[in-house]
Amino acid sequence: MKNLIRERRKQLGLTQENLEHLSGIPRSTIANLESDQGRLPNVEVAILLARALKVTVEELFIV
């Protein structure tokens, strides 16, 4: 499983801290998800991140 969190965040010019404020997800969780490409977040986290990054969950997480 691969996620595009880091790539999409950088496309939007956001820091992890910016994304934390936009999504309500702790920066440490964002950092862990960005560094561990095999880790799948729970549905709520996936939805919050996708909304904050203005993409669908399917676009953000590639199985």
Q: Are 49 and 3 in contact (CB under 8 A)?
A: no
Does the structure show a pLDDT above 80 at 32?
Answer: yes
Q: What is the mean pLDDT of residues 8-21?
A: 98
Q: Higher confidence at residue 37 or residue 23? A: 23
Q: What is the mean pLDDT of residues 15-21?
A: 98
- Name the band, by pLDDT with cuts 50, 70 and 90, for residue 37: low
Q: Higher confidence at residue 28 or residue 38? A: 28
Give the separation between CA 50 and CA 57, rounded to whole angstroms: 5
Give the separation between CA 14 and CA 1, rounded to whole angstroms: 23
pLDDT at 59: 94
